[in-house]
Chains A and B, each alone.
Chain A
Amino acid sequence: QKEVEQDPGPLSVPEGAIVSLNCTYSNSAFQYFMWYRQYSRKGPELLMYTYSSGNKEDGRFTAQVDKSSKYISLFIRDSQPSDSATYLCAMKENQGGKLIFGQGTELSVKP
């Protein structure tokens, strides 16, 4: 079983929809929870991060971490065609820089 599980999709939604992306994990030592966005033929870029549990909001994006359930989510409000990309959850322990990534969910937002 993988340390981080993420549904690869693909997920297709109409413009303006609310998108929910999720990951589950098994390692209770994870303390940092990130969402990276990867456009086709590009390297991943950090979208948001959360330390430990809780919610974080940045514009149309909201990240949630529930450590008791080992479950993290990313919500995208008022989705735009420019949001079409692969979204990767990533996690790491307190020390060190090793990121463990989910499989990535491919999102397509249709105009």
Chain B
Amino acid sequence: DTGVSQDPRHKITKRGQNVTFRCDPISEHNRLYWYRQTLGQGPEFLTYFQNEAQLEKSRLLSDRFSAERPKGSFSTLEIQRTEQGDSAMYLCASSPQRDMNTEAFFGQGTRLTVV
């Protein structure tokens, strides 16, 4: 396994359109996270799955955003009715579940541009 994989790497869409991103985590990792990064900022937490269960959602995740991880493997993040403010780098990360804290491994991200 080569790491966390995200698709597409880049997406340009018109305002009002829907977009969907995919994340394939490291295979033995049961925790999966979505973050968003805008220019000049650090990544901001959006949501978190343990296996197929979505355990936490940030208030940044408006009702236009939905994330799924149906079989506890890959995950999708959908943004409906995109707005220019949604333009950002969307990062996926995964980590194994352990008794102690462990680092998360990030994918290369999907850069979304809403025009």
Q: Do A and B bind each other?
A: no
Binding site for A on B (CB under 8 A): none
